[in-house]
Structure 1
Amino acid sequence: MLQPMQNTTYAVGQLTPSIVLYEPSFEGWLSAVFYVYAHKLQHDEALQLIANERYVPSLIAQATHVATNGEQAERVLTKLNQLLGRSGMRQLLWGFLSEKDNIGTTLFNVVKYALDHPERDIMQDLGNLNVLELAQTVKSVGRERHRMEAFVRFEHTTDDIYFARVEPDFNVLPLIGEHFRQRYQDQHWAIYDLTRSYGIYYDKSTSTPSHPAALQTITDLDEAVLRNPASIHSIDEQRYQRFWQGYFTNVNIKERKNMRLHKQYLPQRYWKYLSEKQVLPNAEYLQKRR
């Protein structure tokens, strides 16, 4: 049960960590940081900041919920910008988008380190375990972002929208949207994250040569379409996929196949959304003809 945080003295050996729960957004986490300092909880070594949706209630732990407060979040953001600069804030945001179970606590410990030592460039101090963990997390998020930009496959629909489904390990849609917005300004397109049930949409009709349209957030898509996008494929898309799959099948040289190397450069978890990886009904026949 959620209870207000109290100043309580615990018996020796009694494990009752202080837990601050925040709404699952960056602004929610910033609001939690403000709450911690406003209530002078920052020196509690057992303090944890956990997203509401990831908290598992405990009989021995006390937790308090902090609602998102835009004004308080802005005050924390301004202070962190002064301390960490653009590069440091980028690392905090990318770390947050990893959605790791303990990331709220890790980010807070990094922020506390920065506030305790404002004269240092703490993001370069990899001897600090929290800074090191954040750096490693940011590297993983960056790798996933790069792969998403490379492996997203759009499928043309009957509504003249190029639609792609993805299931990234991390919440990287906010990081890849600008890449596709700049690259495909002359098309309607959407990328939908099946794991997190939301997507981004670009409407070219609101774009101008000097000002690309803003990205829109989309939710609540038809489950039938998500399970079977082929049901809304345009005639051109159906023809393109047949041609591409046939080409991929015919250029494959069986004697030179190296699946270990292939999976290294193209991880198998991406295959189900790559049209060239879908087996043609007559693929075996085409191989025999060769």
Structure 2
Amino acid sequence: MSMLLLENTKHNKPNAHTTPSAVIPSIILYEPSFEGWLSAVFYIYSKRLQDHAGLQLYAQDNYVPSLIDPAISVPSDAEHAERVLKTLNKLLGRSGMRQILWGFLSEKQIIGIILFEVVKYTIAYPNRDVMEDLGNLHVLELAQIVKSVGREKHRMEAFVRFEHTTQDIYFARIEPDFNVLPLIGAHFHKRYQDQDWAIYDVRRGYGIFYDKSKGTPKHPAPLQTITDIDEAVLRHPASIHSLDEQRYQHFWQGYFANVNIKERKNPRLHRQYLPQRYWKYLSEKQVLPDAEHLQKRR
């Protein structure tokens, strides 16, 4: 099955010049992208390192250099990545590839190793429904990670708060535990086609932008990736709030402060359904002084 994965790589057999046994790398470093990880998988199979005991894969930005374990950095290669992707699509199908991608977006330090072990298992047993075999520890671990990523995706779709700016763009900041921005774009793209909006991941330094002027009602504009957001705006978004947004936040915060029944407060349950790490980007949690004053008068 490795030949199915690599197709035209018969000439890449290891030799004394390329991979002598004395210097076989035990750590493969890939560029921190899905294409980079796929390229690393291709490299491993092309050099026939897949059965090397203790082989580990790490993103280059997650690796701490070691004086003991030999490591090699594999550059991203679009052609190699595409070849591996096609093979995995055949073996895993859409559902299986969804789990691979969602697992990768978790950005966990050992996710490259887990995914490679799942891929190796898949190639070894092409007729088995690998993703349903939770008796395999790597498949089980991946399933648990995917579940956590899915939970974070769902929360982001619920907790994103757009703020209207002076440029007539609805802007939202997020800081999720996992890199779920590529997963939530379709949710907002489907629902907000009549306005310009942007969602920016503060932790990862990139965002998505929808420009309605570049689409039509029948053919909505595609999402664009953005990276050049002014740091001052990220630190003080209120500096670009429109007058309508200022009034809306004032009324909303006042309502939120007054709608609560003091005697029925349950902070523990509240944090269970709305984790505190999301609060700093929720307008209703930034209670205005006069809203607190109104609450005390009740």
Residue aligning to 2:58: 50
Match of 1:273 among 277, 281, 288: 281
* SS of match in other structure, 2:289: coil
Cα distance in 1 between the residues matched to 2:146 and 2:159: 20
Amino acid across the alignment from 1:178: A
Query: 1: distance between equivalents of 2:184 and 2:128?
Result: 31
Alignment pair present for 1:213 and 2:221 = yes
Does the Cα contact within 8 Å between 2:28 and 2:58 map onto a contact in 1?
Answer: yes
Letter in 1 for 2:214: T
CA deviation string 1:24-68 (max 9, x = no partner): 111110000000000000001211111111111001011111111
Show the 5 A alignment for 1:192-203: 192-203=200-211
Secondary structure of the corresponding residue to residue 41 of structure 2:
helix
| Equivalent position amino acid for 2:46 in 1 | A
Unaligned segments of structure 2, at least 5 residues: 1-16
> Any idea what SS the aligned residue of 2:209 has?
strand
Task: Give the structure 2 partner of residue 13 of structure 1.
Answer: none
Amino acid in the other structure paired with 1:95: G
Counterpart position of 1:7:
20
How far apart, in 1, do the equivalents of 2:207 and 2:103 lie?
20
Q: Which amino acid aligns with 1:153?
A: R
Determine helix, strand or coil for the equivalent of 2:156. helix
* 1:234-273 alignment runs, 5 A limit: 234-273=242-281
User: In the TM superposition, what are the counterparts of 1:1-290 in structure 2 within 5 Å?
Assistant: 6-9=19-22, 18-290=26-298
RMSD: 1.4
CA displacement at 1:88 relative to structure 2: 0.3
Distance 1:94 1:284 in 2: 41
Superposition deviation, residue 87 in structure 1: 0.2
Change (3 A) 1:199 1:5: farther
- State the Cα distance separating 1:282 from its structure 2 match: 1.7
Identity of aligned residues (%): 74
Runs of 4+ displaced beyond 3 Å: none
Q: Answer yes or no: is the 8 Å Cα contact 2:25–2:72 preserved in 1.
A: no
C-alpha distance in structure 1 between counterparts of 2:166 and 2:250, whole Å: 17
Query: Shift of residue 287 of structure 1?
Result: 1.9
* Structure-1 separation of matches of 2:43 and 2:25: 16
Q: For the Cα contact (< 8 Å) 1:5–1:62, is it kept in 2?
A: no
2:280, 2:205 → 1: CA distance?
A: 18
User: What TM-score do the two structures reach when normalised by structure 1?
Assistant: 0.95
What's the CA shift for 1:252?
1.0
Q: CA deviation at 1:9?
A: 4.2
For 1:157 and 1:276, the matched residues in 2 are separated by 17
In structure 2, C-alpha distance between the alignment counterparts of 1:75 and 1:57, rounded to whole Å: 30
Structure 1, gaps ≥5 residues long: 11-15
The answer as to whether partners of 1:17 and 1:48 remain within 8 angstroms in 2 is no
C-alpha separation between the residues in 2 aligned to 1:92 and 1:144? Answer: 16
Give the Cα separation in 2 of the matches to 1:108 and 1:224: 41
Could you tell me how far apart the structure 2 residues matched to 1:75 and 1:50 are? 21
Superposition TM-score, scaled by structure 2 size = 0.92
- Structure-1 separation of matches of 2:178 and 2:18: 31
